[in-house]
Amino acid sequence: MSSVDTSARTFNLKSWLAEHGVDRLLFLLVPAFLAMLAFFIYPTIYGTYLSFHPMEAKSGALGNYRSFFGDTYMRNSIWNTFRIALPVSLINVFAAVPLAVRLRHRVRGKRTINTLLVIPMSLGTVLIAEGLSAYLAPNGWFNRTLLAAGIIDQPLQLLHNFWGVIISLLITGFPFAFLLTLSYISGINPKMEEAASTLGATSWQRFRYITFPLLTPGLAITFCLNFVLAFSVFPSANLLGNPAGDSHVLAVAAAQAIVNNYDYSMASAISVITGAFELAVVALVLVMRSRLYSGSTSGGKG
Amino acid sequence: MSSRKVFVKSPLGWLIWGSVAFFFINLLGVIGTVVVSSFGTEWFDGWLPSGWTTKFYTTAWHDYQVPNLLRVTLQVALAVVVISILVGTPAAYVLARRDFPGKKILMLSFLLPIMLPPITYGIPLATFIYRLNLGGTLTGVIVANTVPAIPFVILVLSPFIEQIDPKIEAAARMCGATTRQIFIKILTPLIVPGLLAAALLVLVQTVALFELTYLVSGPGSNTLVVALYYAVFASGIRPYQAISAMAVFYMLTTLFILIVALRYVNPTQMVSQARSADSK
Amino acid sequence: MALSNLSLTIGNGEFVALLGPSGCGKSTALNCLAGLLPLTGGSIFLDDRRIDTLPPERRDFGMVFQNYALFPHLTVRQNIGFGLKIKKVAKSEIERRVTAAINLVQLSLHADKHPSQLSGGQQQRVAIARAIVIEPQVVLMDEPLSNLDAKLRHEMRSEIKRLHRELGLTTVYVTHDQEEALSLADRLVVLHDGKVQQIGTPEDVYMNPVNSFVADFMGYRNLISMDLLAGGSAGNYSLRAPGLELTASNLFSGSAAGKVRVAIRPEDLFIENTSGNSISCTVKSVEYQGKDFAVEVSTAQGITLHLRTPKKLEVGQSTNLTVASDRVLVYPDSDA
């Protein structure tokens, strides 16, 4: 009796912890957490610290940032990155939606399409860049076909400029966007559309008023992840773009700081800038998303 | 039901199919160009090379030290798979089953490596790995690749564990099983499909992951994809057919792993970690 | 689930229940009616208009789904107004009719909530309001009460009854719960294995099931294999089993001398000395069930019978049961 009273009155750490789900089982988290702490959190903090300690000590703590933003060429890398990453992510997401809508039910050949789409995703940007550099060349199959078909008289210049990078990111990013959108759309209870159809909605109205609004939160995530992929366009920018000109993106600038100047401090500063801009966009999208309905898409209690 | 009929009828359906076909034709063109050029003697102008040979495969095999690259790639990938599964699975279990103070922050630290471009955290990570004198070593490459792999395993496995009824564990406990016995005899068999999927997905991802390896590897610890990048970047040093042959070696490795993986995982699972990250 | 030979004409304002165990084809029938599943044969007419070739959105039916299928991103008001908005009804008119519907299902306090903030019963009300606000020619209900707990199920049952009485909407209602079907419907359609077993009023189906399957489903728990003696006539058929003799007034079609199945409802067996068949037996178990007792008895030859009685019996006690001969239903042995 008395022991019950004491435990009710005084603060008992052990039982408080137990009530909040803290027990020995949580030790299972320790290895993963330590790994992240040592190889992700600490390096990130260390890199940020390093970025405020430029190689030339006399330029002050903000020296790297001042020289980055003070230099038009460097500053333009931000614009170059956005100019590639934004349209690519938007195109990928919006191209994925109609295809995912078409393939959301059992359709013959769905698994084949999915499987084929996984291939460019798994081959990765380096191989796609290598293939594109021959395929899109002035004497490559792409231009040759267009010339033979009489669509163009001059080979299109698709390499060592903006377009090469964009095309490579469409090839690797679209499958990712599609598969993710498909998995979101499959999570929407098909009864929703059936209900809408019994209420008189045509297939376009069902998409417009039911499927699309329920899909939007998922599309926001799909956009973000595609944006992350497109934001680090390093191999394609170097191999297919013009890394000294309009493909001088943030990732290239950071890598050049290391490879050309061994300036880890400057490279870290560019990483911080890249991360900050990228997270700002992701945060903006996520804030916009949180204003949408983002609960269950299964509907009802089930 | 009638969706297939509608598909054919509507102009939008034709447009979508047309775009898909266009996408695949170009993809085939990209891959085909690589394969055809690797077998060509010379290919300057024309639809096809002027002659055929396999000699560039021999050149590539020796000059790029493909056996060595394959060994390193597989060592790195397998080590990353084993470490990330061993470290990630217990964490996935706790995150699937428990609510505790600070869970959200912990989740965030697991999510950030997926929400950030690898090059942003790769540069500080590489700097750190070089300071530990692991730069350019196999260990350094393994460590770097484990960083995104652990969150990946957690995000693939924890929804999988969530859908296992906790009452099964409770029932085992009521039958007198200890925690250790529950883990070994009840949970492990139940999560084997999830573990297999996670392992294969990490394998596919690690073989293709370029940026992190590029930043920390050195001669002797380059993986196939990094070697391919250097080969393409320094094109001109060796005949381009040899580079194409090198690309074919890489492609075969990746496709082999992919075919194995697709026997056990669904193509949509390739993106499942992103989906589950969303629900956290 | 295949479904064959369902031929049914539904009158204006009628409440028809499709009743059967799970997998009997009743949901298939409803989905075909709604146009959500294709009809592989046959036709559906609404008045004189053939509608089975129309897609669901042009059939002018309202449907209430088993899991409600409310749109999670819309409020109660928007959910209910969805059909009217699609039909391009004027804003003020939508406003008026939605408000009326909300009041009708007593949800005025919850009009601006999202479905996830509502209880199961409230969600069900929204689903019903959404289906009836468009003033459909026919309302289809697919097991609308099966996800609710017992108390709420009773409440909503009365609610559906009230709405049907007030609005007079033609309703097709699918359920596996015979009590629900009996209390709601004007007419029952009992289905089994995709085949219609019986169509009739609730009283008719309950009192005179046409075969032993319907009898079993309607709660005729006592199904006994017996021999029908030859030479009986209306009002006087003799049945035999070891240690048991019964007289039945009627035979259901197909019953002939020889093996038959006899069905008796627990409620039709009495302990009081009323006239009719008499069965002597021993009490095997007694379950208290509130208003009465569920008793299991056994004859000397081991035939088990179930009955309900307000009188408390002791296990092991001998007793005499009576059953009126018009409540002894005789079916051919073949049908199960």
The string of DSSP codes covering C133-171 is: TT--SEEEEESTTTTS-HHHHHHHHHHHHHHHHHH--EE
**Distances from the Cα of A54 to the Cαs of A62, A68, A259, in angstroms?**
8, 12, 17
Instruction: Count other Cβ atoms within 10 Å, centred on residue C274.
Output: 12
Q: In chain B, which residues have their Cβ closer than 8 Å to the Cβ of A26?
A: 94, 98, 100
CA distance B121 to chain A (A): 6
Same domain, residue pair B106 and B199: yes
Minimal-distance CA residue of chain B relative to A85: B117
CA dihedral C311→C312→C316→C320, nearest 10 degrees, is -10
> What's the pLDDT tens digit per position in C193-210?
888 899 999 999 999 999
Non-local (6+) Cβ contacts of A74 within 8 A are A67, A68, A253
Same-domain pairing of C153 and C33: yes
Tell me what pLDDT residue C271 has: 85
Question: Are residue B89 and residue B161 in the same domain, yes or no?
Answer: yes
Which residues from B are below 8 Å from C37, CB to CB? 1
Nearest neighbour of A200 by CB, restricted to C36, C68, C87: C87
State whether C262 and C318 are in the same domain: yes
Measured in angstroms, the CA of B169 and the nearest CA of chain C are apart by: 27
- Evaluate whether residue C6 is within a structural domain: no
Q: Report the domain count for chain C.
A: 2
Q: Per residue in A63-121, pLDDT tens? A: 899 999 999 999 999 999 999 999 999 999 999 999 998 888 777 778 888 888 888 88
Helix axes B118-131, B138-162, angle to 10 degrees: 130
In chain C, which residue's Cα lies nearest the Cα of B2?
C38
Q: Is A115 exposed, middle or buried (0-12, 13-18, 19+ CB in 10 A)?
A: middle
Q: Do C62 and A198 touch (CB under 8 A)?
A: yes
Q: Tell me whether residues C115 and A195 touch, CB distance under 8 A.
A: no
Show which subunits contact A, needing at least 3 CB pairs below 8 angstroms: B, C
Domain identity same for B23 and B159: no
**A213 and B CB contact within 8 Å:** no
* Sequence-distant (≥ 6) Cβ neighbours of residue A9 within 8 angstroms: none
Is the Cβ pair C61, A198 closer than 8 Å?
Answer: yes
User: For position B92, what pLDDT does the model report?
Assistant: 92
The tens-digit pLDDT sequence of chain B (280 residues) is 344 444 455 787 888 889 999 999 999 999 999 999 999 888 877 888 888 888 989 988 988 889 999 999 999 999 999 999 999 999 999 998 888 888 888 888 888 888 888 888 999 999 899 999 998 999 999 999 999 999 999 988 988 888 888 888 888 888 888 878 888 888 888 889 889 989 998 999 899 889 899 999 988 899 999 999 998 888 777 888 889 999 999 999 999 999 988 888 887 777 766 666 665 4
A255 touches chain B (CB under 8 A): yes
Do C68 and C171 fall within a single domain?
A: yes
Q: What is the 3-state secondary structure (H, E, C) of C223-255?
A: EEEEEECCCCECCEEEEEECCEEEEECCCCCCC
**Predicted local confidence at residue C291, as pLDDT:** 86
Q: Strands of C304-309's sheet, edge to edge?
A: C304-309, C293-298, C277-288, C318-323
Which pLDDT score, from 0 to 100, does residue A220 have? 92
C184 and C120 belong to one structural domain? yes
Q: Which of residues 5-24 of B touch C (CB under 8 A)?
A: none
CATH value at residue C64: 3.40.50.300
- The partner residues of C199 in beta bridges, in order of sequence, read C189
Q: Residue B4: its chain C contacts at CB < 8 A?
A: none
Residue C105 placed within a domain? yes
Q: Are residues B156 and B252 in the same domain?
A: yes
Is the same domain home to C256 and C232?
yes
Cα separation, C177 vs C54, in Å, equals 31
| pLDDT at res. A33 | 92
Ranges of H-type helices in chain B: 3-9, 11-38, 55-63, 66-97, 103-115, 118-131, 138-162, 166-174, 179-181, 188-208, 211-216, 224-233, 240-264, 272-279
Range of the domain at B9: 3-53
- Predicted local distance difference test score (pLDDT) of residue B274: 66
User: pLDDT value at position B272?
Assistant: 67
Strands C293-298 and C304-309: antiparallel
Asked if the structure places residue C240 within a domain, the reply is yes
CATH number, domain of B264, equals 1.10.3720.10
The minimal CB distance from C82 to the residues A191, A199, A296 is found for A199
Residues C189 and C245 in one domain: no
With a pLDDT cut of 70, the percent of chain A lying above it is 92
Please tell me whether residues B139 and B257 are part of one structural domain. yes
Instruction: Indicate yes or no: CB of A102 within 8 angstroms of CB of B16.
Output: yes
Number of domains composing chain B: 2
More confident residue, B4 or A253: A253
Strand partners, C236: C233
Q: Which of C141, C172, C207 is the last residue of a domain?
A: C207
Pair (B133, B240) in one structural domain = yes
> What confidence score (pLDDT) does residue A1 get?
42
| Average predicted confidence (pLDDT) for chain C | 88
Average pLDDT over residues C228-251: 84
Residue C165 lies in a domain: yes
C182, C207, C232 - which closes a domain: C207
pLDDT tens track for C60-89: 889 999 888 999 999 999 999 999 999 999
Cross-chain residue pair C69–A300, CB shorter than 8 Å: yes
Distance from CA of A28 to the nearest CA of B (A): 5
Interface chains of chain C (3 or more CB pairs under 8 Å): A, B
Q: Do A213 and C73 touch (CB under 8 A)?
A: yes
Q: Looking at B2-16, C127-141, C243-257, which range is the least confident one?
A: B2-16
Mutate which of A198, A211, A289 to disrupt the C interface (most C C-beta within 10 Å)? A198
Contacts of A200 in chain C (CB under 8 A): 57-58, 60, 83, 86-87, 134
H or E element, residue A36: helix A30-36
Distance CA C200, CA C212 (A): 16
pLDDT given at position B137: 94
Q: With an 8 Å Cβ cutoff, are C131 and A202 in contact? A: no
Instruction: Using the 3D structure, point to which of C207, C239, C264 is the last residue of a domain.
Output: C207
Specify whether C222 is located in the same domain as C277.
yes
Q: Is B2 in CB contact (< 8 Å) with chain C?
A: yes
Backbone angles phi, psi at B165, to 5 degrees: -60, 120
Q: From the list B113, B267, B275, which residue is nearest A40 (CB)?
A: B113
Please report residues of B whose CB lies closer than 8 A to that of A194.
Answer: none
Closest in A194, A210, A295 to C36, CB measured: A194
Contact B1/C at CB under 8 A: yes
Return the pLDDT at C2: 56
Distance from CA of C80 to the nearest CA of A (A): 10
What pLDDT sits at residue B34?
93
Do C69 and C195 belong to one domain? yes
Q: What is the β-pairing status of strands C49-50 and C237-241?
A: unpaired
Residues C24 and C166 in one domain: yes
Residue C68 at interface with chain A, using a CB cutoff of 8 Å: yes
Flag whether residue A18 sits within 8 Å of chain B, measured between CB atoms. Answer: no
Domain holding C32, by residue range, is 15-207
**pLDDT score for B6:** 43
Q: For residue A299, give how far its alpha carbon lies from the nearest alpha carbon of chain C (Å).
A: 6
Which of residues A253 and C232 earns the better pLDDT score?
A: A253
Alpha carbon distance A64, B267 (integer Å): 44
Q: Does B3 touch chain C (CB under 8 A)?
A: no
Q: What torsion do the CA atoms of A40, A43, A48, A53 make, to the nearest 10 degrees?
A: -170
User: Could A202 and C57 be called an inter-chain contact, meaning their C-beta atoms sit closer than 8 Å?
Assistant: yes
The SS3 assignment for C4 reads strand
> Does residue A302 sit at the C interface (CB-CB below 8 Å)?
yes
Which residue among B16, B100, B214 sits closest to A22, beta carbon to beta carbon? Answer: B100
Q: What is the CA radius of gyration of chain C?
A: 24
* Domain boundaries, given as residue ranges, for chain A: 73-290
Question: How does strand C293-298 pair with strand C277-288?
Answer: antiparallel
Residues 84-123 of C with CB under 8 A from A: 86-87, 114-116, 120, 123
Is C135:C84 a contact under the CB 8 Å cutoff? no
C57 shares a domain with C201: yes
Same domain, C256 and C226: yes
Cβ contacts of B254 on chain A, cutoff 8 Å: 122-124, 127
Strands of C237-241's sheet, edge to edge? C244-248, C237-241, C222-228, C258-264, C329-332
Chains touching B (at least 3 CB pairs under 8 A) are A, C
> Who contacts B99 (Cβ-Cβ below 8 Å, separation ≥6)?
A20, A21
Q: Which residues of A3-30 are buried (b: 16+ CB within 10 A; e: fewer)?
A: eeeeeeeeeeeeeeeeeeebeeebebbe
* Greatest Cα pair distance in chain A: 96
- Tell me the pLDDT tens digit for each residue of A32-72: 999 999 999 999 999 999 999 888 777 788 889 999 999 99
Which two structure tokens, joined as six digits, stand for C279? 């069965």
pLDDT at B33: 93
* C328 belongs to a structural domain: yes
Same domain, C198 and C270: no
CB contact under 8 A, B6 and A203: yes
- In the beta sheet, which residues pair with residue C239? C228, C246
- Contact at 8 Å (CB) between A162 and A246? yes
CATH superfamily label, A73-290: MetI-like (1.10.3720.10)
Among A168, A226, A117, residue whose Cα is nearest residue B20: A117
Q: Which residue's entry shows tokens 């009708």?
A: C104
Closest partner residue to B29 among A98, A113, A135, by Cβ?
A135
Distance from CA of B280 to the nearest CA of C (A): 19
Domain membership flag for residue C3: no
DSSP H or E run through C288: strand C277-288
Length reported for chain B: 280
A300 and chain C: CB distance < 8 Å anywhere? yes
- ipTM for this prediction: 0.85
* Contact (CB<8Å) A268/B110: no
- What does DSSP assign to residue B238? S
Q: Do C86 and A299 touch (CB under 8 A)?
A: no
